[in-house]
Chain A
Amino acid sequence: MRIVFKTDYMQDIRPWKDRYQLGLYLILLAVVFAAPMVIDDFYLGELTNVLIWALAGMGLMILTGHTGQASLGHAAFLAFGCYANIILMEQGVPFMVAFPVAGLLTGIVGVIIAIPALRLHGIYLAIATLAMSILTDDIIVLTEPWTGGVGGKYAPSVNVFGFDIDRWGTPKEFYYLVLGVVVIVTLGYINLMRAPLGRSFIAVRDSEVSAQAMGVDIARTKAMSFGLSCAVTGLAGALMGLFAGAFNNETFSVIISIELLMMIVIGGLGSIHGAFFGAIVIGFLPQFLSISKEWVGAVFGGSSVAIPGLEFGVFGMILIGFILFEPMGIYGRWLKIRTFFELFPFYRKDMFKRQKSYLKTERLR
């Protein structure tokens, strides 16, 4: 059993518990950094895809996982970030400027949308954001002069510090670009969560009434959360556009919104890890399914039979399974397994069981 002996407040303030944990994360960083030298271009592309989804997942995690505001409309912000980035680049703005500006613009749009949207709670907010996601398709078609409408747009290769980076031409460099963005955003996210603003997000999620009594301005905090969430999602959208190479009004459909929300639920709401675990599931599931379908086909015959909706069916079943058996998601399960080994043989089955929550003060809504 590993016990961290604390002698200094900094041990709680810095992001890692002890050197052992820091070591593990440094190894993980080394592994993802070395990945392009080990795996082939196809799987590198898949890994890039996972990282982009993780970035989008972190965006939604800020809002849904940490501030408790469900959004079924984040595909709209992916789209906004993607189009903003490309349109800026077409106006001659270099990528290194267009990319962060696209994120910033998406964040501002998020705050503007948040002002009316955040008067809604729970399921009503989900419905309103769902409507926004559905509208996006039409808005992209209606604004054809800028967005290319149904015909869509093609992503050019981008220039980063003098390197020309292109998803197909230079997959390794593209991977490093995405990795760099993901690492920077993750570090910012970790910092945020150990600072007052991140804690006020959690406060708003768990009890708006008492957050207010502690001096947290609910409307401002929610708008801030929406803005940060959308900014990160916008960055993810810009990278998604570059990754896809071509996109039109249907690329960022409402299905993407739903997949994003499912992804962070499966990964584990309320943890940065959850965004990554969820992205791994959503990123590798199609490959896993097609490989296992081939295998089943090779053994039992009929490998060429196409099964419509297989991916969504499996995805839905995984989601239902998680909600029933592991509401804390993959990250929650991981914590349990780790505790089991750390405390072996003293782990008790009800260690993570939540005590029944007591009556809540009337919500004053």
Chain B
Amino acid sequence: MSFLELKDATLKFGGVTAVDNLSFSVNEGEVFAIVGPNGAGKSTVFNLISRFYDPHAGSITFDGHDLLKSKPSEVATFGVARTFQNIELFDQATVLENLLVGRHRHRKTNLVNEIFFTPSARKQELQNRHFVEEIIDFLDLQAYREKRIAGLPYGVRKVVEVARALATDPKLLLLDEPASGLSVEETTDMRWWIDDIRRQMGITVLMVEHDMGLVSGVSDRVLAMADGARLALGTPSEVQSDPAVIEAYLGHVA
């Protein structure tokens, strides 16, 4: 049984079919990229997996769980973490606090423990902090640890979002355009990080990305989408040379 599997997923907004009978599966340990022109339904696929939208038909399973039977907040507790295309951080909190929210799914204390801050709550906080510090080290965020998000530059925010997703200690990481708006150097950094996330941490990565350099550099398999449907699926070079993909991006050959 595959790790993450979408089967015949369909989602309609009124007359628009955003995701059209889409099936694909992601294997454990691979980096899987979704590419496609704007409006192809890539982010919508993410929002389906995160359970922000209910598909009209089809099934989504992850690691033996039927995601369609779970609440949006439960998806994270199964070990799926994600970032957002337009950055959704907790603006009025520090980087450290943002990452600590990522530890929420490992919360073992209850209200009473926390109000009296019993030794178990203290121990949990120390463990959380220890885990979060490793992520901060990994992504070189030491300089921003105590800074509020509201004052941070765009590139750093992108990294903090990845860090917060990693803080949940996920099995599957969904990255929605991790390199959009980043400089060339930052994109290169992101590339090595994604590689390390897979190799060192053993986390499966599913990403949406437009930067073909990044996509062909890190991903094992690529899914190309257009108008909510699957165009091609294969290795990066296979997909790049697929006639249907070229047509979707460039139009008909005259």
Contact = CB atoms under 8 A, between A and B. Distances in A.
A361 B177 CA distance: 13
A32 B86 CA distance: 48
A216 B89 contact: no
A202 B73 contact: no
Contact of B115 (A191, A212, A361): A191
B102 interface: yes
A212 B129 contact: no
Contact of B86 (A197, A215, A360): A360
Given A9-B130, A13-B125, A195-B114, A218 B73 contact: yes
Interface residues of A, number: 40
Given A9-B129, A224-B111, A357 B150 contact: yes
Given A210-B88, A216-B73, A355 B121 contact: no
25 contacts: A9-B125, A9-B129, A194-B125, A195-B117, A196-B109, A197-B114, A199-B93, A199-B97, A199-B100, A200-B101, A203-B93, A205-B92, A209-B84, A210-B84, A212-B73, A213-B84, A214-B101, A215-B104, A357-B91, A358-B87, A358-B154, A360-B88, A361-B84, A361-B86, A364-B52
Contacts of A211: 90, 101
Interface stretch (B25-33, B75-83, B208-216, B232-240): B75-83
A209 B72 CA distance: 10
B89 A206 contact: yes
Contact of A206 (B90, B100, B114, B122): B90
Contacts of B198: none
Nearest to A196: B107
A340 to B, nearest CB: 18
Contacts of A13: 122, 125-126, 129
B116 A210 contact: no
A355 B104 contact: no
A57 interface: no
A361 B114 contact: no
B77 A215 contact: yes
Given A200-B101, A358-B87, A359-B86, A195 B109 contact: yes
A1 B26 CA distance: 54
A12, A194, A195, most chain B CB atoms within 10 A: A195
A217 B73 contact: yes
A199 B77 CA distance: 17
A213 B122 CA distance: 25
Interface residues of B toward A: which range? 35 or more
A170 interface: no
B84 A214 contact: no
Contact of A215 (B53, B76, B154): B76
A355 B116 contact: no
Contacts of B77: 215
B73 A215 contact: yes
Interface of B: 47, 50, 52-53, 71-77, 81-82, 84-93, 96-97, 100-105, 107, 109, 111, 113-117, 121-122, 124-126, 128-130, 133, 150-154, 157, 164, 168
Contacts of B93: 199, 202-203, 206
Contact of B88 (A191, A209, A270): A209
Q: Which are the 8 A-B pairs with shortest beta-carbon distances? A: A215-B76, A195-B114, A215-B105, A206-B90, A210-B88, A191-B117, A217-B73, A196-B107
Contacts of A198: 114
B234 to A, nearest CB: 29
A12 B151 contact: no
B125 A195 contact: yes
A256 to B, nearest CB: 27
Given A9-B129, A206-B92, A194 B117 contact: yes
A349 interface: no
B75 to A, nearest CB: 8
A207 interface: yes
Interface string A150-167: 000000000000000000
A194, A200, A270, most chain B CB atoms within 10 A: A194
A198 B150 CA distance: 20
Nearest to A202: B93
Nearest to B88: A210
A214 B111 contact: no
A203, A206, A214, most chain B CB atoms within 10 A: A214
Contacts of A228: 111
A213 B76 contact: yes
A153 to B, nearest CB: 31
A358 B154 CA distance: 8
B104 A199 contact: yes
A212 B82 CA distance: 10
A354 B150 contact: yes
Contacts of B101: 199-200, 202-203, 211, 214, 216
A357 B90 CA distance: 11
B245 to A, nearest CB: 27
A161 to B, nearest CB: 21
A138 to B, nearest CB: 33
A29 interface: no
B72, B85, B113, most chain A CB atoms within 10 A: B72
B92 A196 contact: no
Given A191-B114, A211-B101, A358-B154, A217 B71 contact: yes
